[in-house]
Amino acid sequence: MTDQQAHLARLQRALGYQFVDTSLLELALTHRSVGGRNNERLEFLGDSILNHIIAEAIFRKFPDAREGEMSRMRASLVKGETLARVARDLDLGDYLVLGSGERKSGGKRRGSILADALEAVIGAILLDSDVETCRTRVLDWYDPRLQALSLDEVSKDAKTRLQEYLQGRQRPLPEYALLAVQGEDHNQQFEVACRLAKPSLVVEGSGSSRRKAEQAAARVALERLQVRGK
């Protein structure tokens, strides 16, 4: 076994999948900075099948979830930040093939490159096997994150609901401003204002963190606008 074969064998053990055609895996690991033959087409394919697999998993796991709730859960799992974390779990950066510029600038650790490479690997597995095998691998990598999903949590995402409501009506997005922070470091209370330009509205919310205060303010805004949960 050559050094390259041993190198790819370690990655395949981490992936839990043995390629029939290892050239597909090599292509999936090749960033566009290398040249013309790179992983962009496989990334396109992997993105499509990943969205399908995650959407189906959420659909089955949450039979009572509304469309908007399922969309937000899917978005949280297929966004670049999450993809990069999954890629890091698999140590994918150790196997990337990059151009000299990307190597020198730390491309093997860059989230966007890792996310794209993971999608490309998913596309490569699909081409090397079949949909069911690809689904099994993806769900295995994503299992801790799927198990951690909560319908209660996604239903509380008032900021997203408020943003979607305003965007759907082509209105300016809300602006959040920190008004005050009270209490000791270990027990602080944040007060935040949420301002809407159209309709003109200013509401306030509070919470144990700025994020929670913003969510509280957004919920008040939704109530004032009489927007029902979705």
119 annotated as ligand-binding: yes
* Annotated binding-site residue? 89: no
User: Any known ligand binding at 157?
Assistant: no
How far is it, in rounded angstroms, from Cα 154 to Cα 151?
5
The answer to whether the CB of 190 falls within 8 A of the CB of 176 is: no
Give yes or no for a contact between 108 and 94, defined as CB atoms under 8 angstroms apart.
yes
Cβ neighbours of 25 (radius 10 Å): 23
Cα 85 to chain center, whole Å? 9
Which residues are marked as active site?
47, 119
Contact 12, 121 (CB under 8 A): no
Residue pointed to by tokens 């093997």: 108
Binding residues for Mg(2+): 43, 116, 119
